[in-house]
Structure 1
């Protein structure tokens, strides 16, 4: 008897390897995948603008990487004692305007060069709703005019500004397709070898309303499938369907009943590996994860011979891995396991 709906996920035509460079952009769920890949020592750059939810913001950020857009003071606004950017997550915000700009532009430059050499781009879309800055409200508080912003005043992050500053908009399927189509053409012109994986975040945006959330997700799914059917080197991975239709139970959600919990994200990651990795790559990833987990171990009695033996054993293992796979970054692990020489 089957107690779970099964989704047949065939192996992708092209597979991800540890030598590949992977850029991931989009919602918070893309960071679950990105963090997991990073822990397996894949070469990953995550969300150079910070977390993004809607297709307009995602596309705008990707085009800015292609062009290596450099921001100036006119692109920032001052609110709640912080200098901030409408196109960036609050992790870039700060009290020192020059430091905020330096941080943003350093990230832009890194993203530009990384994207140029990337083998894979993972795009996770979270919502078809976007927010646009109102012209009249922006004047009254000294926030930059809409002309400073791209995409008709669309913002990627509202930075807790008053809701009356914005016009909430549910993007049409046509609008989403137009943004994605234009961006993908630019991406493929910029990087001839790039492969793109689309996925829809299973995180429910309940603040929009249950009905509105479903309308939003439906538009994203329809638009993405249109693009996958149109272009080669585009793939769809069903993160949304795996959580909503396969797991399909609140025990797979966090206490907020909105975000998938650890077992759910691990389940999705396992399916992702089975779809986009060879058995050899999966096996290697599991061995790497053991090293990463061991590096997090903190002994209550580090001076014991048992702990020193543990460190020596893993140091030898890491050094062997480094010889076999020089493209993997084990600097942190080598530093930790090398502590045995200091204590011995």
Structure 2
């Protein structure tokens, strides 16, 4: 007997491996998938604006990227001693206007270059509710007064219209790109339970319409449906009873891996499987000589892996191990 519903997933027209580049934009779930891919040494790029929740802000950000409309100084606002951009997540904000702008522009240039080489663009739509300030939809409110904003819900036609115009331009500039749409499994209970369901319904129908308009370029991955129907028990939710637990997120990512990623092997990956387990564990010794030898060996292996698979993630780990190793020189 079968005691749960297993969501069917449409097979993609191709599988992806570490020779492909993945670009991920969207909500918190997009970040979880990005972290998995990075940790598995896939070639990954993310949004130059940070976490993004609504499809209209994502479209506006993509339009700017395609037209090389980089962040400008006159777009920054000062709030509580920090400079912010209404297009960017708070991770880009800084007490120095110069530093904030430099961070935003550097991320923009990295993403613009990466987009040309992207094989699979994964867009995670989080909510159809948006906030407008001075007639413009913002990506982040940065805790400005509520009276500065007008809140409204996007329509299906509005989402389809803006992305319907954008996708041909995107595929023209990045001819090899495929787009995978998904709806975040995280409800927005701040909007109310009913409003959250309506929001998700709009996103689901908009995604369906886009797959129908661009069947050779756009497909859909049912992360929302897997959470709602396969993992419907509260044991699969975090303490806030809204976000998926680590186990649930790992399961959804496993379903993605099963259908979209090609199994690979090789010396670098075999070394990585062994060394990644060591990275977060200190060896059981107090001998400085033994610790130095341990981190020397670990660093040497990481450098060998990076020579075959150059990744920013590996650069970060190499720098971290170098800092630890310096304590035992």
TM-score, normalisation: structure 2 = 0.89
2:194 is the alignment partner of 1:211: yes
Separation in 2 of the partners of 1:286 and 1:249?
36
What does the per-residue CA deviation read over 1:201-233, in whole Å, with 9 as the maximum and x for residues that have no partner?
000100101111000000101111111122112
1:17-96 to 2 correspondences below 5 Å? 17-96=17-96
Report the 3-state secondary structure (helix = DSSP H, G, I; strand = E; otherwise coil) of the residue aligned with 1:22: strand
Report the 3-state secondary structure (helix = DSSP H, G, I; strand = E; otherwise coil) of the residue aligned with 1:294: coil
What does the per-residue CA deviation read over 1:90-136, in whole Å, with 9 as the maximum and x for residues that have no partner?
11112222221111111111111111221221100000011111xxx
Instruction: Look up the match of 2:258.
Output: 274
Separation in 2 of the partners of 1:334 and 1:79?
36
Instruction: Look up the match of 2:138.
Output: 155
2:106 is the alignment partner of 1:122: no
Separation in 2 of the partners of 1:121 and 1:132?
26
Deviation at 1:309, TM superposition (A): 7.8
Report the 3-state secondary structure (helix = DSSP H, G, I; strand = E; otherwise coil) of the residue aligned with 2:276: helix
Instruction: Look up the match of 2:151.
Output: 168
Deviation at 1:326, TM superposition (A): 3.8
Report the 3-state secondary structure (helix = DSSP H, G, I; strand = E; otherwise coil) of the residue aligned with 2:71: coil
Aligned-pair Cα RMSD in Å? 2.8
Instruction: Look up the match of 1:142.
Output: none
Report the 3-state secondary structure (helix = DSSP H, G, I; strand = E; otherwise coil) of the residue aligned with 2:122: strand
What does the per-residue CA deviation read over 1:223-247, in whole Å, with 9 as the maximum and x for residues that have no partner?
1111112211212111101111111
Report the 3-state secondary structure (helix = DSSP H, G, I; strand = E; otherwise coil) of the residue aligned with 1:293: coil
**Is contact 1:291-1:314 (8 Å) kept?**
yes
What does the per-residue CA deviation read over 1:222-274, in whole Å, with 9 as the maximum and x for residues that have no partner?
11111112211212111101111111111111110110010000001100100
Deviation at 1:70, TM superposition (A): 2.2
2:282 to 277, 286, 298: 298
CA 1:318 to 1:283, structure 2 compared with 1: closer, same or farther past 3 Å? closer
Separation in 2 of the partners of 1:284 and 1:17?
14
Instruction: Look up the match of 2:2.
Output: 2
Separation in 2 of the partners of 1:286 and 1:159?
44
2:113 is the alignment partner of 1:113: yes
Separation in 1 of the partners of 2:270 and 2:78?
46
CA 1:37 to 1:284, structure 2 compared with 1: closer, same or farther past 3 Å? farther
Q: How many residues align?
A: 326
1:189-204 to 2 correspondences below 5 Å? 189-204=172-187
Report the 3-state secondary structure (helix = DSSP H, G, I; strand = E; otherwise coil) of the residue aligned with 1:221: helix
Separation in 2 of the partners of 1:304 and 1:185?
59
Deviation at 1:75, TM superposition (A): 0.9
Residue segments in structure 1 that go unaligned for 5+ positions in a row: 134-145, 147-151
Report the 3-state secondary structure (helix = DSSP H, G, I; strand = E; otherwise coil) of the residue aligned with 1:63: helix
**Is contact 1:26-1:126 (8 Å) kept?**
yes
2:206 is the alignment partner of 1:223: yes
TM-score, normalisation: structure 1 = 0.85
Report the 3-state secondary structure (helix = DSSP H, G, I; strand = E; otherwise coil) of the residue aligned with 2:83: strand
2:240 to 256, 272, 275: 256
Residue segments in structure 2 that go unaligned for 5+ positions in a row: none
Name which of structure 1's ranges 72-81 and 234-243 shifts more when overlaid on structure 2: 72-81
Separation in 1 of the partners of 2:229 and 2:317?
39
CA 1:225 to 1:74, structure 2 compared with 1: closer, same or farther past 3 Å? same
Name which of structure 1's ranges 31-40 and 272-281 shifts more when overlaid on structure 2: 272-281
Separation in 1 of the partners of 2:309 and 2:213?
37
